[in-house]
Amino acid sequence: MSDATRPEFLTSRYDGAANRWRDKMRALGYYDGYLGFLSARSIDRSADQSVIDMGCGSAAFAEAWVAVNGPPDQLTLVDPSPGMLDRGIAALAARDVAARPVEGLLGQVSPASATTVLAAHIVEHCPEPVEALRQLGDLLAPGGRLWLVASKPHWCNAIIWLQWRHRCFRRDEMLDLLEQAGFDVEFEYAFPAGPPSRTSRGYVARRA
């Protein structure tokens, strides 16, 4: 593992970027992209809803979930960066949602399981993607769904890699990783416009 991909180093870099992350997610179209992804499949609103946003950053994905589905019964934000968590909690508070912050890395924290696990652009930072996907699956309550957004190969990601040293996954590669991690993929999403259409792909999956 190079210095640039070590969790402590990465976390200090994300912490340094936290102040501007929410504006950046909006300016580049990721918040709108997440809204479109989450609106593409309806959920059962009659059942209790609990949500974990793993690697939440400033919580753009969780915020979009609330905008589309309304406030969940429980919302947990997980991130190793305290600066990101502070911004995420504040963003949700502005929507009258009291989210619970959990500081730490996937696999090293144990939030209560949830009916929805959101994970956008985080598996690409994990050393073992299949293990990371299994750990995300372990956070799901029975019948729950993983909403995953992962980077895909594109020259835009080559530029982003210079800063963040993240991985990218071809569609067939991610489908294989999800299968190895014990998931059935129910739905895939091609972001229709802007940077998300070039950098990312969405997957909705349930434990098989």
Ligand X SMILES: C[S@@+](CC[C@H](N)C(=O)[O-])C[C@H]1O[C@@H](n2cnc3c(N)ncnc32)[C@H](O)[C@@H]1O
Distance CA 39, CA 67 (A): 10
Q: Is 114 in the site for ligand X (CB under 6 A)?
A: no
User: 120: which residues sit within 8 A by CB, 6+ positions away?
Assistant: 30, 34, 55, 57, 60, 61, 148, 149, 200
- Residues 35-54 binding ligand X (CB under 6 A) are 54
- Give 70 or 82: the residue with its C-beta nearer to ligand X: 82
For 75, the token pair is 């919302």
Asked if residues 186 and 137 have their Cβ atoms less than 8 Å apart, the reply is no
Of residues 32, 38, 51, 61, which one binds ligand X by CB under 6 A? 61
What DSSP character marks residue 47?
Answer: S
Residues facing 52 on adjacent strands? 76, 117
Cβ atoms of 28 and 200 closer than 8 Å: no
Least Å distance, CB 121 to ligand X, is 4
State the nearest-atom distance from the C-beta of 201 to ligand X, in Å: 13
The single residue among 38, 50, 52, 55 that binds ligand X, judged by CB under 6 A, is 55
Query: 25 vs 178, which CB is nearer to ligand X?
Result: 25
- Residue 107: helix, strand or coil by DSSP? coil
- Total residues interacting with ligand X, rule: CB under 6 A: 22
Is residue 14 within the footprint of ligand X (CB under 6 A)?
yes
Q: 140-151 and 114-120: which strand pairing?
A: parallel
Which residue, 92 or 126, is less far from ligand X as judged by CB? 126
Closer by beta carbon to ligand X, 85 or else 178: 85
Residues that bind ligand X (CB under 6 A): 10-11, 14, 25, 30, 54-57, 60-61, 79-81, 84, 105-106, 120-122, 125-126
